Structures are given as C-alpha cells and as structure tokens.
Structure 1
Amino acid sequence: MKVLIAGAAGMLGRKLAERLSSAGRIGNRELTGLTLADVVAPQRPPDHAGDVELLALDVSNADDVGRLIARRPDLVYHLAAIVSGEAEADFDKGYRINLDGTRHLFEAIRREGLREPYKPRVVFTSSIAVFGAPFPEVIPDEFGTMPLTSYGTQKAVSELLLADYTRRGIFDGIGIRLPTICVRPGKPNKAASGFFSNILREPLVGLEAVLPVSPDVRHWFASPRSAVDFLMHAAALDLAQVGPRRNLSMPGLSATVGEEIEALRRVAGERAVKLIRHEPDEAIMRMVAGWPPRFDAERARALGFAAEARFDDIIRIHVDDELGGRIGG
C-alpha cells in the first residue's frame, strides 16, 4: 500500500508518519511506499526501513498537488491546514490553504481517475470548529454544522466536498472531526485553543504559563496519541459500515479548565500549578464562548474509535511521549 501524508511536517503528521513506519502496515495491508509532503520538507521517520519521499510543496498550488497525486497513492491523509487563530487573522490565507488546498487535492484525484481508473481512500482531518453555539448539554451526532469562525467554515465546506466526491465514486473518503488535541508538544502555535495545552506543557517543565479564560470553561479533548489512533483506524475501517454520512465527530474527554488544573496537580504537584498565571483576555473569552463543550460521538464509538477517559491519562501520555517520563525544569 502506497501512502501519502499531506501536512506531514506538522505535529500530527510527524507522529502519524512515525506510527506508520513502526507498524509497517495499515490493517492487513503492508506499507510499500510513503510520501511525506508539506510546505516545508518533512523529516524522515527515524524507524522507517524503506524508501520515503520527502517533498516541499504548497497545497494551494494546483499544479504541485496534481504532481503529488500523479504518484497514485492508495491512501491519502489530508492533514494540510493552517490553524484556527491564523485562519481567523488572515482571511485570504485561511481560504487559500484550508479550502482551496482541499479542493485542489480532491480535484487532482478526480482528474487522475479520468485518465485511468483510480479510487484511493482519503482520510481528512476536520474539526469540532464546524459546530457553533448555542449548544445542547451534549452534542449529538445529528447536530447541524453552523460554524462561527472562518476556520470552522473552511472545514465545514471541505466536509461537504468530501461527502460529495465520495458519493460520486471519485474516492472513498472519511472525515474525522478532531477534538482539541492536548497536550500539544513543542512551542505555542497560533491556534486559539493553544492555552489548553500551554497551561500544562509549560508547568510540566518548570515554566510559567498564562491562562486567558475562566477555570469553569468546558471543552472537548483527546491526546495526540489518540488522534493518531483515530487516523490509523479510519484508514483500515470498512467504510461501508459508515454509510453515506462520511464525517464523524471523534470520541474525547469533556473537562473544564479547572479540572485540567486539578489533573496537573495530581500528576505534577502544587509547584507546577503555581506556575499558571491567570490573565483574562476578552478576545479569547469571546471566541471560547462559541466552542462545543461535550459530544455524544456514538457513531464513532460504535465503529471502534476510542479516546482517554481521564485527564490524568492525557497528561501522563505527554510526560511519557515527550518528556521521557520526567517532570520538572
């Protein structure tokens, strides 16, 4: 099986490439080729024994994407996007990358199939940002997509495109709406939700972190490890079981910021918690007010997707995977 990851230089793309390289297969199909593409050349997975193609290209360039799909991968992971805060701040860039890039990718697959029969599996990372307030206490699978941000709109339109191209038999697609991924490793990015990770990641290594919202803010979370599990499972799943509604809200953990902090206290102690400084930010608080707090995710769970049940586990996964099992500066 030949696999393409578009957006392979990002955090999830890197972790997915490492998991694929380690596993050497998707379900019962052997990995025979791996192409990693992003706006900057991705790094080679450390455990990859075979050949891997590392490409720097821009998904907003239709010709670049056409050449990428001409390699005819059996499985296409579409992770390429800019994050929520950046998409909101730069309207043109958000639509160029998050929407036009998606359309270029889908169209390249369609044109390749017109030349010679070709129907790959496409796994698209969407977002819970496709939903907008007001929300019920628990958001059911049939809740309508009414985004309140440009980023959410770009993802929602891409979901519709994925469903239609799948309906037309152009590819076999599945969209997975990721929870907020926490704890994100590395440095803070431009995602509006970044503080959810910042208030854990920095104190775990002895650094201060700023909390811009109230501790009673509730949100929907999963770890990077679970996100990669979602991607692997979506690639191997019999999509006939999914039916025509190809976009799924992933399982996660509903928790308040205060519950996050209490989990940090249990895992890392009071010293870590004291490194969090509360500085309210009105702009972020307004944005957070329109974010979904809890999902039912019954369809995804029935299809075998799963995530953490305790925030302590999310923190410990970060400590094990990113900090070598050690807490402190």
Structure 2
Amino acid sequence: MKALIIGAAGMVGRKLTERLANQPVLAGQALDALMLVDVIEPQAPQGADFAVETRALDLSEPEAATALLEERPDIIFHLAAIVSGESEADFEKGYRINLDGTRYLFEAIRQAHGADGYCPRVVFTSSIAVFGTPFPEAIGDEFLNAPLTSYGTQKAIGELLLADYSRRGFFDGIGIRLPTIAIRPGAPNKAASGFFSSIIREPLAGQEAILPVEESVRHWFASPRAAVGFLLHAAEVDTTSLGARRSLSMPGVSVTIAEEIEALRRAAGDKAVALIRREPDPTIMKIVAGWPQNFDPQRAIGLGFTADRDFDEIVRIHIEDELS
C-alpha cells in the first residue's frame, strides 16, 4: 500500500503522518511507502518502518501533480489549501491554490488513468464553509451548498469536480467537510476561525487570548484527533453507497463560545478564564455570522464516522496530545 499526503506540513497533515508512523495500516493493508508533500518540505516521521519520501512542491504549478503520481499511490489525501481568512484577503492566491491546485491534481490523475487504468482513492478535505445563510436549526444532508465566502466557493467547486471525476471513473473520490478543528496546537494561523482555538490554547499555557466575537456565537467543532480519524475512515469506507454525492458533512460538537469557556474553566479554573480579553472585531464578527452552527450528519454517521462526545473531551485531547 502506497499513500500520498498533499499538504503534509500543515497541522492535520502532521497529525495524520504521526498516526500512520505509529499504526502503519491503511484501508486494512500494511503501509509500505508514504510520500509527504507541501510547499515547505515536510518532516519525515521518526521510527517509521516503511519508506518515506518528502518533497517541497507547489501543487498550483501546472506540472507538479504529474510528478507526484509517478509511483502510483493507492490513496491520495488532498489536504493542501490556504485558510479562510487568507483566501478572503488574497482573492487570486485563494483561487490559485484552493481551486487550480485541486484541478491540476484531478487532471493529472485523469491523464494517468487514460495511460494505464490508474484509479486511486482520493480523500479531499472540504469544509463546512460550503454552506451559507440562512441556516436551519441543524444542517442536514440535503441542505444546499451556497457559500458566501471565497474559501467556501473554492471548496464547493472542488466538491463538484470530485463528484464528476469520480462519476466518470477516473478515480474513487470522497470529500469530507471538516468542522472547525479545535484546539489547534502551535501558533495562530490566518484563519478567521483561529480564535476558537486560541481562547482555550493560550490560557492553558498561561497566556492572554483575544476574543473578537460575542460569547453567544455558536459553532461546529471537532478535535485534531477526530479529524485524523475522519481521514483514515474515508480511506477505507465503501464508496458505492455514496452514489453521485461524494462529499459528506462530518460529525462534530455544536457549542457556544460561552460553553467553550466553561469547558476551559472546568479544566483549568478561573485563573485561566481570566486570561481571555474581550476585544470585538467587526470584520471577524461579520465573517463568523455567516458560518454554520449545527449539523445533523446522518450519512456520515451511518457510514461509521465518529467525532468527540463534547467540548470537554476536545479540551482533554489537547491537554493529552500537546501539554502532557
């Protein structure tokens, strides 16, 4: 079994790589070789008992994807993207990376399929940003994709391409719409959603955090550990039951900012909560107001995808994985 992770230097890519290094089984088969790719060369995992290749490569370059397919990986995890805030701030960069890079990858696979019948499993990370207001109380599997951001639009187009290329038999694709992943370790990124993690991460480390929105804001979350579980399950799930609709909203936890803060209080006490400073940001408030708040992802649950039980578990996972 050969696997390719595009976007392997990102947080979820690193977590996926670590899991595979510790448990080298993918889709029920032993992992023999792993290629890790990103615009910055990813680090190879320590202690892996399979072949690992790392490359620095920009998927938005027209010929880059063709080079990645020379070894014919059986499973391709397409995680590469720039985040919501950066996509909104830099229109051209967002479409070049999030859309053009995806199209180049899918086209390279199509060309390889025409040459020798190559047909890999492609796991595409989409986003709940493909949905736009007005929302029902909980977004079900039949809700219309109508994004209101550039990032959401780019991901929605990627979903359509994934479905069409799969329909034509060029590859076996599955798209997973990730909830907002929290609590993200490390330094903040340019995602508009970054504060969801920082108001927990920084106080747990004894540092001040800025809260730019009201505590009544509700959102949909999953932990990094759950995100890796989604990817691994997507690599092995029977896609024949998906039919033409190849993308699924993943399970998660719907909580308000106030409920996040109470989970922090239960984990670290009032002293940690006191490190959160309210500083309203109208730009972020406007962006967040157009985001989904709750889901009813019955298709994914029926296929065996599972997430965290509650936000307390998400906090515990961060403490175990990052602070222990």
Coarse TM-score class (shorter-chain normalised):
over 0.9
Shift of 1:181: 0.2
In structure 1, what is the equivalent of residue 257 of structure 2?
Answer: 257
Cα distance per residue 1:259-283 (max 9 Å; x no partner): 0000000011000000000000011
In structure 2, what is the equivalent of residue 4 of structure 1?
Answer: 4
In structure 1, what is the equivalent of residue 214 of structure 2?
Answer: 214
The answer to whether the 8 A contact 1:8-1:42 is kept is: yes
Aligned residue pairs total 324
CA distance in 1, matches of 2:268, 2:143: 38
Instruction: Give the unaligned 5+ runs of structure 2.
Output: none
CA distance in 2, matches of 1:309, 1:298: 16
In structure 1, what is the equivalent of residue 83 of structure 2?
Answer: 83
2:203 matched to 1:203? yes
CA distance in 2, matches of 1:159, 1:27: 22
CA distance in 1, matches of 2:134, 2:269: 36
CA distance in 1, matches of 2:66, 2:116: 14
SS in 1 for 2:143: coil
The answer to whether the 8 A contact 2:31-2:50 is kept is: no
TM-score, length-scaled by structure 1: 0.97
SS in 2 for 1:62: coil
In structure 1, what is the equivalent of residue 16 of structure 2?
Answer: 16
Taking every aligned residue pair, what percent have the same amino acid on both sides?
Answer: 65
CA distance in 2, matches of 1:189, 1:125: 18
Cα distance per residue 1:132-182 (max 9 Å; x no partner): 011011111100000000000000000000000000000000000000000
The answer to whether the 8 A contact 1:86-1:94 is kept is: yes
2:227 matched to 1:224? no
In structure 2, what is the equivalent of residue 65 of structure 1?
Answer: 65
Shift of 1:242: 2.3
SS in 2 for 1:157: helix
Q: Give the residue type in structure 1 aligned to 2:23.
A: A
CA distance in 1, matches of 2:90, 2:39: 17
Cα distance per residue 1:189-216 (max 9 Å; x no partner): 0000000000000000100000000000
CA distance in 2, matches of 1:118, 1:202: 46
In structure 1, what is the equivalent of residue 157 of structure 2?
Answer: 157
The answer to whether the 8 A contact 1:203-1:276 is kept is: yes
The answer to whether the 8 A contact 2:39-2:58 is kept is: yes
Shift of 1:47: 3.0
SS in 1 for 2:45: coil
Query: What is the root-mean-square deviation in Å for CA atoms of aligned residues?
Result: 0.7
The answer to whether the 8 A contact 2:112-2:118 is kept is: yes
In structure 2, what is the equivalent of residue 27 of structure 1?
Answer: 27
In structure 2, what is the equivalent of residue 52 of structure 1?
Answer: 52
In structure 2, what is the equivalent of residue 290 of structure 1?
Answer: 290
In structure 2, what is the equivalent of residue 136 of structure 1?
Answer: 136
SS in 2 for 1:306: coil
Shift of 1:45: 1.1
CA distance in 2, matches of 1:163, 1:242: 10
In structure 2, what is the equivalent of residue 193 of structure 1?
Answer: 193
Q: Give the residue type in structure 2 aligned to 1:40.
A: I
Instruction: Give the unaligned 5+ runs of structure 1.
Output: 325-329
SS in 2 for 1:4: strand
Shift of 1:113: 1.1
Cα distance per residue 1:274-322 (max 9 Å; x no partner): 0000000011111111000000001000100011121111001000000
The answer to whether the 8 A contact 1:123-1:235 is kept is: yes
Q: Give the residue type in structure 1 aligned to 2:181.
A: I
2:163 matched to 1:146? no
Q: Give the residue type in structure 2 aligned to 1:206.
A: G
Shift of 1:70: 2.1
Q: Give the residue type in structure 2 aligned to 1:119.
A: C
Q: Give the residue type in structure 1 aligned to 2:179.
A: P
SS in 1 for 2:169: coil
SS in 1 for 2:248: strand
